[in-house]
Structure 1
Amino acid sequence: MKKRTEKHARGEEPKLAGIERYNSNIERRASQTGPLVFSAFAAVVVFLAALGTGFVLAGMFTVEGLVVALLVAWVATMSVHIAMQWEKVVVFRLGKFSRVKGPGLYFTIPFIEQTALKADQRIMVTGFGAEETLTSDLVPINVDAVLFWMVWDAKKACLEVENYYNSVSLAAQTALRDAIGRASVSEVAIRRNQLDQELQEVIEERTSVWGITVLSVEIRDIVIPAELQEVMSAEAQAEREKNARMVLAEVEKDISAMLVDAANVYEENDLAVRLRTMHLLYESVKGSGGTVVVPSAYSEGFSDAALDKAIDSLKRGK
């Protein structure tokens, strides 16, 4: 426990496979006791019926009648079955594929037919990951992902692969490692959506022959070594500072061009300079809420005569 705490303090992710993490959570699944209860009920009913029949025929309860009733009940439990709403049952006859049954009630011939597989056709969620996987630029990273998939063909899931659940998990993990190995660490961190789509297509190609379809793949977490995180952070800060300086230079360039244009206007018209001066003084007084001492040479511009002259000059200029 102490080592685990120290790893969290250093910012390291515990090295647990995605499947183990999901299995460590509390599982909440639909009840699977229905078939068992039905089988027990059928066995009891058949046993009582056979025992009652033996009593009627023999006029008493005998050991032979009891044994026969037990055998009949056992055969009944091997013959009558039910499949849940989300299940497809693959039935073999003498070792060969016979049919796919379910959901609901179905029958098999004892000792001749066997239930080879009960395929769950609900959406399955499988966690998988790639630990200490090298990227194309030789950086070891940890990636966790979640796979959403379902069985659409129970026959293929039974005949084409030994254990379809584990096979899907291993295929997803292999595809994830291969995708990471073909990309740089920056591409893995930035192109999450593209990586999800790529993984879905690759896994779908491998699992479609098993009667399994992949609905989606989602990258949950990407853990980069702490040393590289500092380097990438410094690089990102330098890039942002570079962009900020470039933007500032562009703004300074635009401002200088505007100032040159304004200077040309002021150079050709002294009255424009005086009006600009008056405007600046007004803004300073309004902003400060105080008083400003204006030289006498400038105060003449505030007189009514000067203002009328300025207006006439502007009209003539137009």
Structure 2
Amino acid sequence: MDDSLDALIGGNLVVLLFAAFVILCIVLGVRIVPQSEKHVIERFGRLRAVLGPGINFIVPFLDKVAHRISILERQLPNASQDAITADNVLVQVETSVFYRIIEPEKTVYRIRDVDAAIATTVTGIVRAEIGKMELDEVQSNRAQLISTIKASVADAVDDWGIEVTRAEILDVNLDAATREAMLQQLNAERARRAQVTEAEGKKRAVELAADADLYAAEQQAKARRVTAEAEAYATQIVAKALADNGIEAAQYQVALKQVEALTAVGQGPGKQTIILPAQAMDVFADAFKLLKGRG
């Protein structure tokens, strides 16, 4: 009876141990990788696989998770480095770099300190690129400089399984002496522009005054031309009348003017008694005949 009980207990213990072994194998063989990570698997110290997000299976007791690598985008601490431009101006450039790991097997086996390596690479590239440009170009072409630095850094860290997502130049600082010299230059340029603007204003005023005088002269010339044309037209009318009617037209005009003159004298202020010479009556008679004849 005791032997049967011992055998039963021993058999149950074996089953329990086997069940525990199976559970342990499942626990060690099933790996759930978060969405933001990748796991590097080694077998006997050598790279075996890289597990992506989700459920993965490995060989228990042979494979192990050697590295858990975050694939989230990272930002290096803001770095400041000195650089000398092509026109020998010392500037202090503050940069910021964003990157993410896309091939963990390269990152963990090819570089020890990723952040330090990228920072050193950025420093060298920034100094080299700024050394090719003058200070004015650095200030005005910052977008182009950033693009060039990003491309150069991306090429340099490609062997490390890293993708540079963004590179920024936060600030370009100058030493006090250079800032003072630039300020003086800026003030001189502003003064020059003010003088040029004032001179252009005076020039424009003179041009406008000349245009006004020219316009007035043109209008006066037009008026004189119109008057001359009117007088010439009147002369042509009189000449045509003389040519058509001969001396009678001339006598008619003279008689008409004499009548108008006498009429004006008669309508003047004062007494209305008018003494006319004998020739005046002849004038009235001639004018009447001419008027009657033309009627």
Runs (5+) with no aligned partner, structure 1: 1-55, 273-312
Find the aligned partners of 1:177 and 1:136 in 2 and give their Cα distance. Answer: 11
Give 2:54's aligned residue: 104
- Higher gyration radius (CA): 2
- Deviation, structure 1 residue 134: 2.5
- Deviation, structure 1 residue 202: 0.4
Contact 1:200 1:217 survives alignment (8 Å): yes
Q: 2:71 pairs with 113, 121, 127, which one?
A: 121
SS of aligned partner of 2:76: strand
Give 2:181's aligned residue: 231
SS of aligned partner of 1:85: coil
Structure 1 residues 226 and 76, CA gap change in structure 2 (3 angstroms):
farther
Contact 2:42 2:65 survives alignment (8 Å): yes
- Two-structure CA RMSD over aligned residues (Å): 3.6
Give 2:108's aligned residue: 158
Q: Which amino acid in the other structure matches residue 62 of structure 2?
A: I
SS of aligned partner of 1:138: coil
Give per-residue Cα distances to partners, 1:201-234, cap 9 Å, x unaligned.
Answer: 1011112222222222111122211221121111
Give 2:157's aligned residue: 207
- Deviation, structure 1 residue 58: 5.3
Give 2:137's aligned residue: 187
- Deviation, structure 1 residue 271: 11
Correspondence list, 1:1-318, <5 A = 57=9, 80-109=30-59, 112-267=62-217
Contact 1:135 1:185 survives alignment (8 Å): yes
Contact 1:128 1:169 survives alignment (8 Å): no
Find the aligned partners of 2:9 and 2:136 in 1 and give their Cα distance. Answer: 84
SS of aligned partner of 2:91: strand
Structure 1 residues 268 and 170, CA gap change in structure 2 (3 angstroms):
closer
Structure 1 residues 225 and 113, CA gap change in structure 2 (3 angstroms):
same
Contact 1:82 1:104 survives alignment (8 Å): yes
Give 2:257's aligned residue: none
- Deviation, structure 1 residue 192: 1.5
Find the aligned partners of 2:137 and 2:114 in 1 and give their Cα distance. Answer: 32
SS of aligned partner of 1:162: coil
Runs (5+) with no aligned partner, structure 2: 1-7, 228-295
Find the aligned partners of 2:26 and 2:70 in 1 and give their Cα distance. Answer: 25
Structure 1 residues 173 and 110, CA gap change in structure 2 (3 angstroms):
farther
Structure 1 residues 230 and 57, CA gap change in structure 2 (3 angstroms):
farther
Q: Which amino acid in the other structure matches residue 91 of structure 2?
A: I
- Deviation, structure 1 residue 72: 9.6
Report the more deviating stretch, 144-153 or 109-118.
Answer: 109-118
Give 1:50's aligned residue: none
Normalised by the length of structure 1, the TM-score is 0.57
Find the aligned partners of 1:177 and 1:256 in 2 and give their Cα distance. Answer: 54
Q: Which amino acid in the other structure matches residue 91 of structure 1?
A: I
Find the aligned partners of 1:218 and 1:73 in 2 and give their Cα distance. Answer: 51
Give per-residue Cα distances to partners, 1:252-287, cap 9 Å, x unaligned.
Answer: 223212211222333566799xxxxxxxxxxxxxxx
- Deviation, structure 1 residue 196: 0.8
Structure 1 residues 81 and 160, CA gap change in structure 2 (3 angstroms):
same
Aligned residues, how many? 218
